[in-house]
């Protein structure tokens, strides 16, 4: 897999700047050999009756985690977009526990990136969900220019 | 396909009672021969940079729409849960336009229900997304009793 | 959707020429407004114990059907490749009955094509399977040259 | 994950007895902590123009591999059926090389089993495909009785 272009600190700064409306929900835990781990800080807005984390909140966790994993290898290029997600909800999340999403980048091609995710509470071997996502990578050129650096 | 057990009015009352936190985002447009049509009333919270509707908001629209389509045929049984969703994001939604989700119930089995969805702005033939969802249907008995109304 | 570049006769000739090992399994039934209909001529090699059509045979039907639907609109360009398929097996196929795959092209983009399929015996309203497939469309240029015409 | 009810030898005997038409295509390489590894012995019938392994052959590999992984943990119960498969084709397989499918069982529930697969040539870190499959597990009782032993 490619080298690391953005570390935890850079990805966190990117989240704060470009996704201010959701950045307080996510914590970049660490970069891994195959991808990264993102934490969903569970809040009332994520919960369904029974205080279980909702499907859309789990989907959003996987979607943001794969996006950040791609950025960690490609650098701060904007505009990669999700083209496909297949997700299996396997177990009911425990009420109120944060969820970790462990991303493996399986392909970082010229046009498409593919990753899979295991999602569950910290320390568990019984995942709540698994997902695979495909992102379309914009070609170099006008659409692929680097995002302006923080502070500019 | 099975007969209609809950109409637009009954489904709307169900949404208000059981999903108060999201019920103002969705309007049950109508029951169709194959399923139903649900509208996402686009709000600021659904938007990403560029004022386009976010992937998680589109996922939530499909998830709620299929749930309501199942209820429309089975009646107000609770506890059907999403087990799988595969979604393709095909085009960028226009800024600020409501999205309609057109559900076709393809199978309403004893254990599993399968439906697909086309999602796009009203009147468009170029869908923004397509999705297929599987719901696990709880067996009859204690888990499958009708939802009691609040206060009863 | 785009106009028709290859009709039933041209698609059949393409199958015979480029897929001689499978062409006797498939019949292009007709071009439809949204895609086309392909028939799987069920043979012993498609059957599993119980004489039901196997999952891989149903997958192959969907895969070939979407490929031909793309060609019907784009003309005989080679090298479109499947990048994703999500398929739900909903009912057991009846023993020995041919299966029809009804393709709807949902997107024919510059880079990706997306289609969905309903698969079942002729005349049935209870589909055996549904599938969605994504094909990667090769860019124009060396990789996208038209397939050589028959006889050359 | 559950203990091992069928080992490599028992699974191989099961393949030979119940899937005589395909058993010469597959070799159970080994049981792993999370599932098992199945080899597709590539034959001419699996190849497409360019001598690359076809999509349906890769699908069949994943489908059989997950089935055997479930049997390895549940024992020789028959009639588990595939209900969903989502597969990403990421790279073109090298001509003529066998493919290994590495299965991880993520859930073995009362009603559904979920597994994911990485597929590629032996020793490679660049997978050809990834897939996730759901199997419906038949309830105990008449449909779930053990498969009769060979010779009975």
DSSP output for A77-141 = B---EEEEEEEEE-SPPPTT--EEEEEEEEEE-SSEEEEEEEEESTT-SS-SEEEEEEEEPPPSS
Using a CB-CB cut-off of 8 Å, the residues of chain D touching B134 are: 83-84, 134
Q: Is the pLDDT of residue C1 over 80?
A: no
B 53-112: CB under 8 A from C: 86, 88, 90-91, 106-107, 109
Tens digit of each residue's pLDDT (9 = 90 or more) over C87-111: 999 999 987 799 999 999 999 998 8
Residue B150 lies in a domain: no
Residue A73: Cβ within 10 Å count:
18
Q: Do B106 and C88 touch (CB under 8 A)?
A: yes
pLDDT of residue B105: 97
Domain of D43, in residue numbers: 8-140
DSSP output for A54-93 = PHHHHHHHHHHHHHHHHHHHH-SB---EEEEEEEEE-SPP
DSSP output for B5-40 = SS-HHHHHHHHHHH-TTTGGGEEEEEE-SSEEEEEE
Residue A2 lies in a domain: no
pLDDT of residue D140: 61
CA distance A134 to A101: 16
Nearest to C64 by CA among C133, C139, C3, C122: C133
pLDDT of residue A140: 61
Question: Of B65 and B111, which is predicted with more confidence?
Answer: B65
Using a CB-CB cut-off of 8 Å, the residues of chain C touching D90 are: 83
Nearest to A15 by CA among A87, A81, A55, A69: A69
Residue range D103-126: average pLDDT?
94
Show the tokens assigned to A23: 């950045």
Q: Round the average pLDDT of chain D to a whole number and report it.
A: 87
Residue D76 lies in a domain: yes
pLDDT of residue C128: 97
A135 touches chain B (CB under 8 A): no
Q: Measured between CB atoms, which of B84, B86, B111 is closest to D111?
A: B111
pLDDT of residue B19: 83
Using a CB-CB cut-off of 8 Å, the residues of chain B touching C107 are: 90-91, 126-127
The pLDDT tens digits along chain A (152 residues) read 568 999 999 999 999 998 888 899 999 999 999 999 999 999 888 887 777 899 999 999 999 999 999 999 999 876 789 999 999 999 999 877 999 999 999 999 988 999 999 999 988 889 999 999 999 988 763 333 333 333 32
Using a CB-CB cut-off of 8 Å, the residues of chain C touching B130 are: 106, 114, 116, 132
Tens digit of each residue's pLDDT (9 = 90 or more) over C39-61: 999 988 888 777 789 999 999 99
Residue D3 lies in a domain: no
pLDDT of residue D141: 39
Q: Do A45 and B21 touch (CB under 8 A)?
A: yes
Residue D123 lies in a domain: yes
pLDDT of residue D148: 34
Q: Measured between CB atoms, which of A88, A114, A118 is closest to D90?
A: A114
Tens digit of each residue's pLDDT (9 = 90 or more) over D122-146: 888 899 999 999 999 887 633 333 3
DSSP output for C81-139 = EEEEEEEEE-SPPPTT--EEEEEEEEEE-SSEEEEEEEEESTT-SS-SEEEEEEEEPPP
Q: What is the CATH classification number for the domain harbouring A48?
A: 3.10.129.10
Residue D90 lies in a domain: yes
Q: Is the pLDDT of residue D109 over 70?
A: yes
Q: Which residues contact A115 (CB under 8 A, 6 or more apart)?
A: A35, A66, A69, A70, A103, A104, A105, A106, A132, A133, A135
Asked if this assembly's ipTM is beyond 0.95, the reply is no
Residue C1 lies in a domain: no
Residue C112 lies in a domain: yes
Q: Is the pLDDT of residue D45 over 90?
A: no
Q: Measured between CB atoms, which of B19, B55, B86 is closest to A86?
A: B86
- The model's pTM is 0.90
How many domains does one find in chain D?
A: 1
Residue A128: Cβ within 10 Å count:
24
């Amino acid at each position: 897999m490619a080298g690391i272009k953005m570390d935890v600190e850079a990805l966190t700064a990117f989240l704060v700047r470009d996704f201010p409306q959701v950045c307080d929900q996510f914590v970049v835990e660490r970069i891994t050999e195959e991808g990264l781990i993102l934490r969903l800080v569970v809040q009332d807005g994520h919960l369904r009756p029974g205080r279980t984390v909702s499907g859309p909140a789990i989907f959003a966790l996987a979607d943001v985690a794969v996006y950040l994993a791609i950025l960690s290898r490609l650098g701060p290029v904007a505009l990669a977009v999700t083209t496909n997600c297949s997700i299996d909800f396997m177990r009911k999340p425990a009420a109120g526990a944060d969820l970790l999403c462990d991303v493996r980048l399986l392909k970082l091609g010229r046009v498409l990136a593919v990753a899979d995710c295991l999602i569950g509470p910290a320390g568990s071997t019984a995942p709540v969900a698994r997902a695979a996502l495909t992102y379309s990578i914009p070609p170099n050129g006008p659409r692929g220019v680097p995002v302006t650096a923080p502070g500019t």
